[in-house]
């Protein structure tokens, strides 16, 4: 009887827990706090935070409970992460949610989305310089795309062992966009520039919106076939939305499918951060590089907008360059907030959506390129 009790107690979490588990449980709690109390990306941070709690309950090895044990419940959920199933499904929902009209009305703003991808490649170089292998460096660099699903998708194929820290870094920084971006935006622009008013966009016809997903998909995927799973689903989702006749499918994609996949992805990614796997010097490097990736991406977008102004008759507000990082629609909202602090009657949100959406396309293309360079 006593032996049984001792055996039971030795198998409890209290007996098995190491300091790493405790640290990670605290991290999970912080994420849940940020999501609920601060409202930073709650739909992502709450599942990830709770996933961290689930992944850091110490369990007996070979008992079929841990996320890395084949056949366990968590392992089945993790399958979708490791095989790049969840990110394209999230892109399907994003496509069904997104209105591309602002981008179609002013395609030149797409260049800002391209400029922000400089952050990815600059961080790739930084990670190489810090001693990361090229495939790991590429996965870290993609954090600068500010696109969680893309980061997970690329890391799953290039450096699966780093999925946990990279996903947590990507989603944490996406949630912290309102904190990270404004100081950089203010630092790189003058008050006069922040006051620039954008000219009103032309109206986009229904036919244009309908043709765009097909043209966009074909062009992007012919240029970077590696982006096929992500961009294919993104443009397909958008086609469902714009076709109207498939409204039922579009509704499913933008509600039940994306919600379900977000839960599965969040829990699986969170649970993959077991203390012994996550708390390494590499993770710290990833977090530092991730932050710099975000900063460089934001700065390159703003600087490129100022560069474009040298040639444009009708100037653009350089703040919208910061929306080139693809945290949709968070970074566009940040642009609106920063712009309105200078002039409350200046509405930049719709203009910022153009580089914001093109940033999604740009980061998916960048992921496809890095995969084709380093995936062989």
Partner 1 sequence: MYGLDAISAHNGWQLAALGISIVFTGLIILSLAISQIHKVLELWDRRYTYYQRIRKLVQRKHRSEATVSDPVLPKNVKESARQFKLLIEQMGEPFPLPKLLDFSKKCGLLHSHSSINDLLQAKLIIPDGKGYFFWNHEVEKNIKVSMKERSKI
Q: Which residues bind partner 1 (CB under 8 A)?
A: 103-104, 107-108, 110-111, 113-114, 117-118, 120-122, 124-125, 128-131, 134, 137, 204-205, 207-208, 211-212, 215-216, 219-220, 223-224, 358, 361-362, 365-366, 369-370, 373-374
CB of 290 to partner 1, least distance (A): 17
CA-CA distance, 200 to 78, in Å (whole number)? 46
Q: Which ranges of 224-280 does DSSP label H, i.e. alpha helix? A: 228-243, 247-252, 258-271, 275-278
CA-CA distance, 189 to 19, in Å (whole number)? 45
Cα-Cα-Cα-Cα dihedral of 229, 136, 122, 103, to 10°?
10
Residue with Cβ nearer partner 1 (85 or 128): 128
Unique residue bearing structure tokens 């390159």: 300
Cα-Cα-Cα-Cα dihedral of 19, 23, 29, 35, to 10°?
-160
Residue with Cβ nearer partner 1 (335 or 364): 364
Residue with Cβ nearer partner 1 (102 or 336): 102
CB of 121 to partner 1, least distance (A): 4
CB of 36 to partner 1, least distance (A): 36
CB of 128 to partner 1, least distance (A): 5
CA-CA distance, 246 to 230, in Å (whole number)? 20
CB of 362 to partner 1, least distance (A): 5
Residue with Cβ nearer partner 1 (272 or 363): 363
DSSP state of 310: T
Whether the Cβ atoms of residue 20 and residue 276 lie closer than 8 Å to each other: yes
Q: What secondary structure does DSSP assign to 91-157, as a single string?
A: HHHHHHH---HHHHH-GGGHHHHHHTTHHHHHHHHHHHHTT--HHHHHHHHGGGGT-HHHHHHHHHH
Residue with Cβ nearer partner 1 (20 or 117): 117
HSE-CB at 57 with a 13 A cutoff on CA atoms is: 11
CB of 370 to partner 1, least distance (A): 7
Residue with Cβ nearer partner 1 (39 or 375): 375
CB of 288 to partner 1, least distance (A): 15
Residue with Cβ nearer partner 1 (205 or 260): 205
CB of 160 to partner 1, least distance (A): 20
Nearest to 213 by CA among 365, 66, 361: 361
Whether the Cβ atoms of residue 234 and residue 365 lie closer than 8 Å to each other: no
Residue with Cβ nearer partner 1 (128 or 195): 128
């Amino acid at each position: 009887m006593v032996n049984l009790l001792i055996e039971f107690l030795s198998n409890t979490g209290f007996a098995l827990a190491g300091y790493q588990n405790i640290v990670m449980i605290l991290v999970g709690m912080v994420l849940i706090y940020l999501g609920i109390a601060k409202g930073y990306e709650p739909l992502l941070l709450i599942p990830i935070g709770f996933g961290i709690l689930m992944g850091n309950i110490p369990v007996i090895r070979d008992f079929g409970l841990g996320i890395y044990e084949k056949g366990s419940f968590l392992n089945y959920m993790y399958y979708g992460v490791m095989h790049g199933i969840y990110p394209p499904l999230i892109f399907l929902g994003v496509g069904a949610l997104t209105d591309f009209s602002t981008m179609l009305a002013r395609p030149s703003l797409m260049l800002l989305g391209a400029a922000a991808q400089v952050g990815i490649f600059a961080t790739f170089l930084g990670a190489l310089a810090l001693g990361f292998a090229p495939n790991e460096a590429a996965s870290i660099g993609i954090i600068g795309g500010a696109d969680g699903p893309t980061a997970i998708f690329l890391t799953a194929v290039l450096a699966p062992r780093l999925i946990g820290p990279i996903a947590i870094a990507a989603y944490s920084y996406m949630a912290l966009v309102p904190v990270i971006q404004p100081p950089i935006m203010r630092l790189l622009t003058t008050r006069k520039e922040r006051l620039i008013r954008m000219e009103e966009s032309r109206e986009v016809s229904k036919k244009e919106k309908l043709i765009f997903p097909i043209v966009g998909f074909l062009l992007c995927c012919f240029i970077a076939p590696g982006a096929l799973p992500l961009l294919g689903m993104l443009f397909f989702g958008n086609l469902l939305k714009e076709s109207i006749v498939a409204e039922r499918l579009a509704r499913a994609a933008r509600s039940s499918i994306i919600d379900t996949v977000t839960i599965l992805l969040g829990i699986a990614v969170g649970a993959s951060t077991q203390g012994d796997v996550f708390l390494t010097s590499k993770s710290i490097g990833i977090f530092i590089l991730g932050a710099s990736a975000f900063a460089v991406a934001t700065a390159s977008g703003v600087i490129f907008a100022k560069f474009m102004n040298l040639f444009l008759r009708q100037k653009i507000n350089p703040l919208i360059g910061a929306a080139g990082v693809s945290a949709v629609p968070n970074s566009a909202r940040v642009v609106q907030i920063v712009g309105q602090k200078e002039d409350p009657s200046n509405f930049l949100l719709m203009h910022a959506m153009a580089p914001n959406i093109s940033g999604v396309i740009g980061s998916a293309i960048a992921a496809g390129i890095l995969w084709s360079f380093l995936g062989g």
